């Protein structure tokens, strides 16, 4: 696989092929991939730093700096985890890159090991080119389960490598400069009722019926939000408002017993400008109202809440450098926002200028037979060539 003509440097395709060979599904380890990237960078004289997750010893983030030891680097940010392939009808081995019909197939080609490969390639090239402005690489984990790996990675980077200035998060955007996205939060809700025979249900508390009151909260909020006049920032999105959603629910043991337990995941996606803390407080207030009614029937009932993830929105920046760099290289001057969340909002919250710009179409992410168009991958490669040239 090594390209001997370039002194042991691998091409973007070779790098992507290697990264995809590691089945780094979020539930599993990413350490073999991290080990390989660390060794590969080290073979080129680049010191990589890892941050092992103390709560998950089988996972780690990796970051590195090349160029002069000064602040103000451009940061290339990607995640190493991918979604599962279980139950999906793949036509090829998902852990092997297959070229067919102008596309590269494989889990992560689009989301987002294709970009990771391009970022690693650019870091090595920048190192050998002797750039005058530094370039950094940041590879996180657990993005696919709520962007939970980036915040501790960003914190770990501080003081280990010099603070960067602008971050390009390479989620698939068809190489368009995405300057805004919704924030999101997931709240795991566990309603604990009191079991009795359903013929005397008034003496018990059905966790399912009480949970239904909270799930109705999502329906009511969506009705209000969709009916309201969108804000200036909200109008940029589709849909143009904050949305609430319940995608998972389980509970009950038999049709004739009031349910002891009901568990569900309440999520919201907030447009920039809507305060996530206020949204959570609104939900919590409704939860406590329902809980008080339950406990009036039986004191042993309760509702437990656990924040599953919290992703801040990416807000369009007035004259943001990251946006300026992406636009200057791609020539894209249109406005783009997306309704999904990324780690860009987390970098922005930590004081970086941030933009989302990467190869591939988000429609292919998480799909069976995931692919990236070769033309998109090549466009990403050209972007990295131009970026390195700008740092000279």
Q: What angle do CA 364, 144, 242 make, to 5 degrees?
A: 85
DSSP characters for 41-90?
HHHTT--EEEEEETTEEEEEEEEEEESSS-S-EEEEEEE--B---TT---
Residue 295, number of CB atoms within 10 A of its CB: 15
Q: Give the closest residue to 170 by CA, choosing from 391, 347, 50.
A: 347
Catalytic annotation present for 143: yes
In the set 116, 142, 143, 323, the catalytic residue is 143
8-state DSSP, 171: -
d(CA 18, CA 22): 7
Report the greatest alpha carbon distance in the chain. 80
Q: How many CA atoms lie within 13 A of 346 on its CB side?
A: 24
User: Encoding tokens for residue 316?
Assistant: 């369009």
Do 186 and 202 meet the contact criterion of CB atoms below 8 Å apart?
no
DSSP characters for 142-193?
--TTTS-SHHHHHHHHBTTBPPEEEEEE---STT--EEEE-EEEEEEEEEE-
Cis, bond preceding 258 (omega within 30 deg of 0): no
- The kind and range of the H/E element at 335 are none
Residue 309, number of CB atoms within 10 A of its CB: 16
In the set 81, 116, 267, 343, the catalytic residue is 81
Catalytic annotation present for 81: yes
**Signed CA dihedral, 81, 83, 86, 89: sign only:** negative
d(CA 39, CA 12): 17
The residues carrying an active-site annotation are 81, 143
């Amino acid at each position: 696989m090594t390209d001997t003509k370039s002194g042991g440097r691998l091409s973007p395709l070779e790098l992507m092929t290697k990264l995809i060979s590691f089945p780094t599904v979020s539930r599993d380890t990413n350490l073999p991939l991290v080990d390989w990237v660390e060794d590969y960078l080290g073979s080129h004289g680049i010191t990589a730093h890892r941050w092992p997750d103390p709560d998950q010893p089988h996972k780690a983030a990796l970051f590195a700096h090349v160029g002069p030891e000064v602040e103000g680097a451009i940061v290339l940010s990607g995640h190493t985890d991918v979604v599962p392939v279980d139950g999906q009808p793949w036509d090829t081995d998902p852990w092997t890159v297959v070229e067919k019909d102008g596309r590269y197939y494989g889990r992560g080609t689009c989301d987002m090991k294709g970009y990771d490969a391009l970022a690693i390639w650019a870091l090595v090239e920048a190192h050998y080119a002797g750039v005058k402005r530094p370039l950094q690489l940041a590879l996180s984990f657990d993005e696919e389960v709520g962007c939970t790996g980036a915040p501790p990675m960003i914190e770990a980077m501080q003081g280990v490598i010099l603070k960067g200035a602008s971050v390009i998060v390479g989620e698939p955007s068809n190489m368009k400069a995405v300057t805004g996205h919704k924030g999101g939060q997931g709240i795991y809700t566990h309603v604990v009722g009191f079991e009795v025979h359903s013929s005397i249900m008034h003496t018990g508390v059905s966790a399912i019926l009480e949970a239904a009151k909270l799930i109705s909260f999502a329906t009511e909020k969506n009705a209000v939000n969709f009916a309201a006049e969108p804000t200036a920032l909200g109008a940029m999105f589709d849909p143009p408002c904050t949305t609430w959603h319940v995608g998972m629910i389980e509970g009950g043991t038999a049709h004739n017993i009031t349910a002891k337990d009901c568990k569900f995941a309440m999520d919201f996606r907030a447009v920039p400008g809507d305060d996530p803390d206020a949204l959570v407080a609104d939900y919590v207030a409704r939860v406590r109202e329902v809980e008080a009614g339950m406990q009036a029937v039986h004191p042993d009932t309760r509702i437990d809440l656990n924040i599953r993830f919290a992703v801040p929105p990416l807000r369009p920046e007035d004259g943001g450098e990251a946006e300026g760099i992406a636009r200057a290289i791609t020539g894209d001057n249109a406005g783009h926002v997306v309704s999904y969340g990324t780690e860009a909002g987390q970098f922005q919250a930590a004081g970086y200028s941030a933009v989302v710009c990467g190869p591939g179409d988000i429609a292919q992410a998480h799909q069976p037979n995931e692919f990236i168009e070769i033309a998109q991958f090549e466009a990403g490669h050209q972007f990295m060539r131009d970026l390195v040239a700008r740092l000279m």
